[in-house]
C-alpha cells in the first residue's frame, strides 16, 4: 500500500488476450490489480472490491492450470443493468475478461468478438443472486454470489457518512468516515472472498 493509493496490491489477475497479441500490443498478457478497478470506477467500495474478487475467483476455478484467456468468458448477471449495483459490477467484469454487452467489440472477420458475451437476465434471479461465468472453450461454468454484509463497517461510519453527505462534517468527521470506509474495503480484500463469496 502507498499513501496515494492506500489499498493492497494483491490479489492480481493475469490474463492473456489473443486480440491484443494479434494487434501487436506486446505478447498480449495483462495483469490487473484492484487499483485498475478503482481507476475504472473512480472510487473504491465494497461493490468494486467484490466484483474484482469474484472475477478473480471465477477465473481461478475455470483456468486452474493455465493463464485465463480474455475473450473466452461469457458472463450472466442476475437482474437488470440498472438494478442495484449491477452496473459497476459489470464494468469490472468487462475490464478483466473482455466480456461486454451489445456495445462491445464486434470482432475482426468473425474472430475476437467481445459483444454480447456479457448479458443481464432477470429470469435467473428466481434462483438467487448468482453470477454465472462460462468458459467458452470447454463449456465449464461456475456460479458465484457475493455478500459483503458479513464484513460490516465500523459502527461510527454511518453517522460520520450521514454528516458528510449532508455537508455538515468538519475535517475530523470527514477523515473518520473516510478511514472507516477504507478499512472496510481493505478488510474485504484481505478476506479474499473466503467469507463474502459463495460458490454453487
Average pLDDT by consecutive 10-residue portion of the chain (200 residues)? 73 96 94 96 97 98 97 97 96 98 95 97 89 98 97 94 95 95 96 97
Tell me how far apart the alpha carbons of residues 173 and 40 are, in angstroms, rounded to a whole number.
28
Give the contacts of 146 (CB within 8 A, at least 6 positions apart). 50, 51, 53, 54, 129, 131, 193, 196, 197, 198
- Residue 127's pLDDT is 84
46-62 helix and 34-41 helix, angle to the nearest 10 degrees: 130
- Residue 46's pLDDT is 98
User: H/E element holding 197?
Assistant: strand 197-199
Q: Are 94 and 100 in contact (CB under 8 A)?
A: yes
Tell me how far apart the alpha carbons of residues 50 and 70 are, in angstroms, rounded to a whole number.
20
Tell me which DSSP letter residue 28 carries.
Answer: S
Burial 127-157 (b: 16+ CB within 10 A, else e): eebbbbbbbeeeeeebbbbbebeebebeeeb
Retrieve residue 45's grid coordinates. Answer: 467500495
Count Cβ atoms within 10 A of the Cβ of residue 191 and give its class: 0-12 exposed, 13-18 middle, 19 or more buried: middle
Retrieve residue 160's grid coordinates. Answer: 460520520
- Residue 128's pLDDT is 85
- From the list 114, 121, 131, the residue with the least C-alpha distance to 54 is 131
- Residue 192's pLDDT is 96
- Residue 92's pLDDT is 98
pTM of the model: 0.94
- Residue 141's pLDDT is 98
- Residue 5's pLDDT is 78
- Residue 25's pLDDT is 92
Q: Could you give the C-alpha distances from 194 to 35, 54, 121, in angstroms and in order?
A: 21, 11, 26
Amino acid at each position: 500500500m502507498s499513501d496515494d493509493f492506500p489499498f493492497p496490491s494483491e490479489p492480481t489477475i493475469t490474463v492473456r488476450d489473443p486480440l491484443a497479441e494479434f494487434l501487436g500490443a506486446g505478447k498480449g498478457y495483462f495483469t490487473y490489480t484492484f487499483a485498475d478497478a478503482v481507476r475504472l470506477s473512480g472510487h473504491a467500495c465494497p461493490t468494486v472490491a467484490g466484483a474484482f474478487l469474484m472475477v478473480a475467483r471465477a477465473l481461478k476455478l475455470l483456468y486452474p492450470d493455465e493463464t485465463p484467456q480474455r475473450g473466452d468468458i461469457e458472463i450472466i448477471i442476475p437482474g437488470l443493468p440498472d438494478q442495484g449495483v449491477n452496473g459497476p459490477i459489470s464494468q469490472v467484469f468487462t475490464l478483466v475478461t473482455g466480456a461486454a454487452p451489445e456495445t462491445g467489440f464486434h470482432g475482426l472477420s468473425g474472430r475476437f468478438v467481445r459483444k454480447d458475451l456479457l448479458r443481464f437476465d432477470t429470469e435467473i434471479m428466481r434462483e438467487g443472486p448468482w453470477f454465472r461465468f462460462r468458459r467458452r472453450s470447454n463449456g465449464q461454468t461456475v456460479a458465484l454470489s457475493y455478500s459483503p454484509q458479513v464484513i460490516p463497517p465500523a459502527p461510527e461510519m454511518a453517522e460520520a457518512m450521514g454528516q458528510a453527505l449532508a455537508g455538515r462534517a468538519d475535517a475530523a468527521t470527514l477523515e473518520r468516515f473516510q478511514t472507516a470506509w477504507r478499512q472496510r474495503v481493505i478488510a474485504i480484500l484481505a478476506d479474499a472472498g473466503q467469507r463474502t463469496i459463495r460458490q454453487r
